[in-house]
């Protein structure tokens, strides 16, 4: 028995080194060391393949490495042990979103929202899926629900602005981007979209300000250039037509459609 007693600490040390460490795995994942996170979670799951926390860590690592089939397999394993795990459904939905498989993304995110109806990230991603599926009314509904839960989440207003623009609600579009820009004042896409809404409402000076903001940061934004040209057409037709011709030559359909506004 004595030799075994002497070997016991060594055996325990070897076993512990093979078991892995959850905190290490989480640290590796959060620092972008996904391969190391996988190795650590594989060690942990060798001893307990039903540990939902570890399965979630490994699935997240697989997702970051774009090994989507393996990630989905882990999330489905989680759901076998915990059929009401909303995060697993939402994570599968997010993978389908990344793969541009919007039908499956919608199905899984609806399952997640059904389990956690006040989860703002789930609602926002579901709204984005609905925008991709061109179901703008549903998109706005889910984003409105997200706003009711957390009115400080800036992304809600950005995507509601997009949804309402497609629904033809010009005033609503401008209002959503107004709110979003209070949180993210430098966002070029939001300035451009708000400018377009202002232009459609006839608020030329406000629209001009947004398009010029975009062009100062990105002079080759030819869609903004084309729309700024329309804003300038009354007071500076020479500059406006010069900008329209440049934007049209760079492929802007909007500019090409308005070249007739310029005199030969």
DSSP 3-53: HHHHHHHHHHHHHHHHH--HHHHHHHHHTT-HHHHHHHHHHHHHH-TT-HH
Identical topology for domains 19-79 and 84-185: yes
The per-residue pLDDT for range 129-159, each reduced to its tens digit, is 999 999 999 999 999 999 999 999 999 999 9
- CATH topology for 84-185 is 1.25.40
Domain ranges, ordered by start, for the chain: 19-79, 84-185, 202-264
CB of 248 closer than 8 Å to CB of 263 = no
pLDDT tier at 20, thresholds 50, 70, 90: low
pLDDT over threshold 90, residue 230: yes
pLDDT tier at 8, thresholds 50, 70, 90: very low
Query: What does the block give as tokens for 251?
Result: 């492929």
Owner of token pair 């996904």: 34
**Range with the poorest average pLDDT among 16-30, 178-192, 250-264:** 16-30
- CATH topology for 19-79 is 1.25.40
Average pLDDT, the chain: 89
The per-residue pLDDT for range 71-90, each reduced to its tens digit, is 999 999 999 999 999 999 99
């Amino acid at each position: 028995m004595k030799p075994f007693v002497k070997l016991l600490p060594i055996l325990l040390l070897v076993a512990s080194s093979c078991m892995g460490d959850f905190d290490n795995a989480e640290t590796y994942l959060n620092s972008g060391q996904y391969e190391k996170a996988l190795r650590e979670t594989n060690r942990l799951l060798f001893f307990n393949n039903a540990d939902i926390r570890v399965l979630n860590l490994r699935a997240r690592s697989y997702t970051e490495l774009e090994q989507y089939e393996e990630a989905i397999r882990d999330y489905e394993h989680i759901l076998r042990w915990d059929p009401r795990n909303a995060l697993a459904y939402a994570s599968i939905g997010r993978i389908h979103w990344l793969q541009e498989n919007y039908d499956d993304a919608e199905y899984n995110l609806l399952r997640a929202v059904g389990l956690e109806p006040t989860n703002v990230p789930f609602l926002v991603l579901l709204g984005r899926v609905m925008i991709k599926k061109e179901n703008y009314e549903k998109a706005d509904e889910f984003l409105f629900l997200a706003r009711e839960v957390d009115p400080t989440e800036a992304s809600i207003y950005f995507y509601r602005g997009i949804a309402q623009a497609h629904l033809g609600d010009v005033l609503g579009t401008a209002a959503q981007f107004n709110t979003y820009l209070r949180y993210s004042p430098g966002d070029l896409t939001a300035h451009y979209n708000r400018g377009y809404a202002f232009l459609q409402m006839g608020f030329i000076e406000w629209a001009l300000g947004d398009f010029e903001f975009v062009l100062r940061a990105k002079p080759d934004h030819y869609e903004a250039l084309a729309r700024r040209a329309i804003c300038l057409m009354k007071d500076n037709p020479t500059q406006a037509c010069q900008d329209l011709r440049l934007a049209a030559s760079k492929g802007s359909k909007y500019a090409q459609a308005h070249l007739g506004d310029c005199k030969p």
